[in-house]
Amino acid sequence: GEITVLRKFEHIEHCLKRNVQAHVSNGFEDVHLIHMSLPEIDKEEIDLSVEFLGRKFDYPIMITGMTGGTRKGEIAWKINRTLAQAAQELNIPFGVGSQRAMIEKPETWESYYVRDVAPDVFLVGNLGAPQFGKNAMRRYGVEEVLYAIEKIEADAIAIHMNPLQESVQPEGDTTFAGVLEALAEIKSSIDYPVIAKETGAGVSREVAVKLEAIGIDAVDISGLGGTSWSGVEYYRAKDNVGRRLALRFWDWGIKTAISLAEVRYWTSLPIIASGGMRDGITMAKALAMGATLVGIALPVLRPAAKGDVEGVKRVILGYVEELKNAMFLVGAKNIHELKKVPLVITGFVREWLEQRINLNGFLGSRF
Ligand code: FNR
């Protein structure tokens, strides 16, 4: 328990103070929107609203899970309420970080509780896949999932898949055998939506197909090209062997643009496209490729750590302005129309996708 809480502090510290991003891009430089000299719409009429898991949101952007596990008044508590309040005011979904700390140390539950400042926000809880492995030290099941959701009055739960991070950290939980079966059991036992979520290494078509088969409601692909959890663990490593391993795997994974195309082509799961989403043009590309929402984490950490609700909103509204401008220039007056605009895919992403999907089929129909 003590270790989990300490670990969370260290992660936030490193993410605030060091460069923990991948050294490679998330692939969207190979995806091209096509400029339309006659958009045939008025910029003012553009509507950015979307539906996701039965709720309507003002913008297609989600703040994905980062933290929790401190006492009331401390850093994780502050970050979560700041993000939740911004998400409430913007009417966008928000996720808390791993609730494992709250299961191990119930007295930290209030650092995840945001309903007093965000009564209506679409709130996503968060637990880690390895805790559902059949060899987990304490195996979680339906009971822990329901506790995580109901104690904080969440609307859905995300189960994070983080084998990369766990594999490069000394105290990592690498008990992934039996996770899929456990998720199937949870899915068939609870009424809340279940989101399967990566943490920066991307979801492959193989995994996405399995998740769809057990009835998972949505996937957050969290691809390579943004925050690198191997990067974070590099700074936490206690010796050279650990540092070497983490450095070697710093840029491991499937780029966000590639993961998005694979999952969109092979499943009809709603997709949250995250991992290095840092501007509204890139977000327009992801939505055009078939994502329902884009997700961000690191870009809002800094203002959130200062308790700056307006600062969090400013970051997101900056993306919104750019997204809207890109939509104007391709002549899409809503997100549905954006999914039908022509796209060109070049370079590395094209080479990869030619071996993994029918690229022309994908470009022809992406929704
Ligand atoms: C994360 N992320 C994360 N994900 C998760 O499912 N549970 C968690 O507890 C955390 N914790 C966490 C802490 C911090 C400080 C960061 C920056 C990130 C992963 C996050 O939700 C997201 O998937 C990735 O960070 C990719 O998005 P960005 O950061 O590139 O926008």
Ligand 1 mean position, distance from CA 67 (Å):
8
Q: Are 201 and 223 in contact (CB under 8 A)?
A: yes
Report the nearest-CA residue for atom 13 of ligand 1: 66
Task: Say how many residues make up the chain.
Answer: 367
Distance 298 CA to ligand 1 centre (A): 7
Residue 25: closest CA among 325, 348, 319: 348
**Quick check: 155 and 112 in contact, CB under 8 A?**
no
| Rounded Cα–Cα distance for residues 261 and 289 (Å) | 7
Ligand 1 pocket check for 222: Cβ under 6 Å: yes
Rounded Cα–Cα distance for residues 116 and 309 (Å)? 15
Residue 60: its pLDDT value, please?
99
Residue 63 in contact with ligand 1 by CB distance below 6 A: no
Is ligand 1 within 6 A of the CB of residue 232?
no
Beta strands in 123-199 (DSSP E): 123-128, 156-161, 194-198
Give nearest CA residue, ligand 1 atom 14. 66
CA 210 – ligand 1 centroid, Å: 23
The two tokens of residue 218 are 């949505």
With beta carbons less than 8 A apart as the criterion, state whether 154 and 124 touch: yes
pTM over cut 0.95: yes
Collect contacts of 325-328 with beta carbons under 8 A, ≥24 apart. 325/43, 325/280, 326/33, 326/280, 326/281, 326/284, 327/46, 327/48, 327/284, 328/39, 328/41, 328/43, 328/46
Q: What is the C-alpha to C-alpha distance for residues 196 and 128, in angstroms, rounded to an integer?
A: 10
For ligand 1, the distance from its centroid to the CA atom of residue 11, given in whole angstroms, is: 10
274 - beta bridge partners?
295
Q: What number of other Cβ atoms are within 10 A of residue 295's Cβ? A: 26
Along the 367 residues of the chain, how does pLDDT read in single tens digits? 455 556 668 899 999 999 999 999 999 999 999 999 999 999 999 999 999 999 999 999 999 999 999 999 999 999 999 999 999 999 999 999 999 999 999 999 999 999 999 999 999 999 999 999 999 999 999 999 999 999 999 999 999 999 999 999 988 999 999 999 999 999 999 999 999 999 999 999 999 999 999 999 999 999 999 999 999 999 999 999 999 999 999 999 999 999 999 999 999 999 999 999 999 999 999 999 999 999 999 999 999 999 999 999 999 999 999 999 999 999 999 999 999 999 999 999 999 999 999 999 999 988 6
Could you tell me the two tokens for 267? 């499943």
What SS3 class is residue 156? strand
Closest ligand 1 atom to 26 CA:
30
Cβ neighbours, 10 Å, residue 354: 12
- Is 95 exposed, middle or buried (CB count within 10 Å of its CB: 0-12, 13-18, 19+)? buried
- pLDDT at position 299 is 98
Query: Does ligand 1 have an atom closer than 6 angstroms to the CB of 129?
Result: no
